[in-house]
């Protein structure tokens, strides 16, 4: 008897065949010549992250890459660019076998997300950063090696800033707090997931001063993101971005705005004169403006009309007192009365 019994309605497969091989799902219409289509599915490595989940992760880490470039440029005082290269899902064992050596891997948490996350930093990036932190120009060593204890201590400060920047990028999805657990040069001894567990791998490329480049790798085991998968969609991230803000974020925005300079001027009125009258103006001449002395003045902020105000004086300085917000329709109606 054949292992497979085919009918017009169903296709039976022996369990032994299902356990050891991929399943080829086919649609039949009576005979093999009328196949409508098929889908290949790997039971030994199922896809746990949908394409929309991966696009959501890409959006989050594009924002992270922009912020990280600004943070590292200011911190190291040399120009860096960070770009997202790829977002993939693979098994933890495949990830560990693809990691180059030597490499430094930071282990950290994004509380309250469960589990631990890995940040792999290539030797090219680390050696350039260490050289810069020790007073150099950011050159890369030609021969790869493991970091010394002093260099590792310096690198941890940079990684803490990186983890904090990542936490800020994730705040559009869920408020998290980054916590660096440790730094290890021996990746073979790190086990944050079982070998067959699916992980999301985000690979970023770092360009240093336009001369050198290296890679950063973020590894998120599936259990870490399992409870928030519904929020890892492009639509959800777009809808919540900029809406959710903690009190600390609002305070930071206010502090940044406090140092901003804006141009404020007061419009006393307008009038029209001929060019000849303008050329004939001299000290003591009076120009009649188009508004009455009892009307409010208009306050412009960066060229935009924003407020009504009344003129006055404080000691020997001329000033205005804000009376109301500017209303375009009210201002337009004044011309008809």
pLDDT in tens, 16-59: 444 444 443 443 344 444 445 555 555 555 567 888 888 888 88
Taking the C-alpha atoms of residue 288 and residue 269, their distance in angstroms, rounded to an integer, is 9
Q: What is the DSSP letter of 123?
A: H
Query: Worst-scoring range by mean pLDDT, 223-227, 241-245, 267-271?
Result: 241-245
Which tops the pLDDT comparison, 67 or 3?
Answer: 67
Taking the C-alpha atoms of residue 165 and residue 294, their distance in angstroms, rounded to an integer, is 54
| C-alpha distances in Å from residue 277, one per residue of 210, 268, 274, 280, 288 | 60, 20, 5, 5, 13
Residue bearing tokens 């105000």: 309
CB 163 within 8 A of CB 71: no
Residue bearing tokens 């000849």: 276
Query: For 200-226, what is the mean pLDDT?
Result: 87
User: Apex CA 270: angle with CA 267 and CA 275, to 5°?
Assistant: 130
User: Apex CA 323: angle with CA 319 and CA 328, to 5°?
Assistant: 110
Q: Which domains does the chain have, with CATH numbers?
A: 1-44 (no CATH), 51-256 (3.40.1550.10), 264-336 (2.30.330.10)
Mean pLDDT score across all residues of the chain: 78
Helix (H/G/I), strand (E/B), else coil: 271? coil
- Model's pTM, two decimal places? 0.57
User: Apex CA 218: angle with CA 214 and CA 223, to 5°?
Assistant: 165
Which tops the pLDDT comparison, 6 or 122?
Answer: 122
Taking the C-alpha atoms of residue 332 and residue 308, their distance in angstroms, rounded to an integer, is 14
Residues 6+ apart with CB under 8 A from 146: 102, 185
């Amino acid at each position: 008897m054949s292992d497979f019994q085919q009918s017009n309605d169903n296709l039976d497969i022996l369990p032994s065949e299902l356990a050891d091989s991929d399943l080829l799902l086919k649609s039949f219409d009576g005979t093999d010549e009328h196949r409508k289509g098929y889908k290949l599915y790997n039971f030994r490595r199922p896809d746990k992250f949908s394409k929309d989940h991966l696009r959501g992760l890409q959006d989050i880490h594009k924002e992270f890459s922009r912020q990280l470039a600004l943070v590292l440029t200011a911190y190291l005082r040399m120009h860096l660019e960070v770009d997202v290269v790829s977002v993939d899902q693979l098994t933890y064992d495949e990830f560990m076998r693809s990691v180059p050596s030597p490499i430094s891997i930071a282990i950290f948490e994004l509380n309250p997300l469960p589990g631990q996350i890995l940040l792999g930093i290539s030797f090219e990036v680390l050696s350039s950063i260490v050289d810069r932190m020790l007073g150099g120009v950011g050159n890369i060593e030609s021969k790869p090696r493991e970091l010394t204890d002093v260099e590792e201590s310096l690198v941890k400060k940079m990684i803490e800033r990186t983890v904090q920047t990542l936490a800020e990028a994730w705040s559009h999805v869920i408020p998290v707090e980054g916590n660096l657990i440790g730094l290890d040069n021996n990746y073979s001894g790190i086990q944050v997931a079982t070998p067959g567990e699916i992980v999301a791998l985000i690979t970023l490329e770092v360009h240093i001063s336009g001369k050198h480049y290296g890679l950063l790798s973020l590894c998120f085991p599936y259990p870490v993101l399992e409870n928030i998968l519904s929020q890892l969609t492009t639509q959800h991230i777009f809808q919540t971005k900029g809406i959710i803000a903690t009190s600390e974020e609002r305070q930071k925005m206010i502090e940044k705005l406090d140092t901003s300079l804006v141009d404020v001027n007061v419009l006393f009125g307008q009038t029209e004169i001929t060019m000849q009258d303008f050329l004939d103006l001299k000290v003591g001449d009076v120009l009649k403006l188009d508004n009455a002395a009892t009307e409010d003045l208009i306050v412009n902020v960066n060229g935009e009309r924003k407020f009504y105000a009344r003129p006055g004086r404080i000691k020997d300085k001329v000033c205005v007192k804000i009376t109301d917000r500017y209303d375009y329709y009210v201002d337009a109606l004044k011309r008809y009365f």
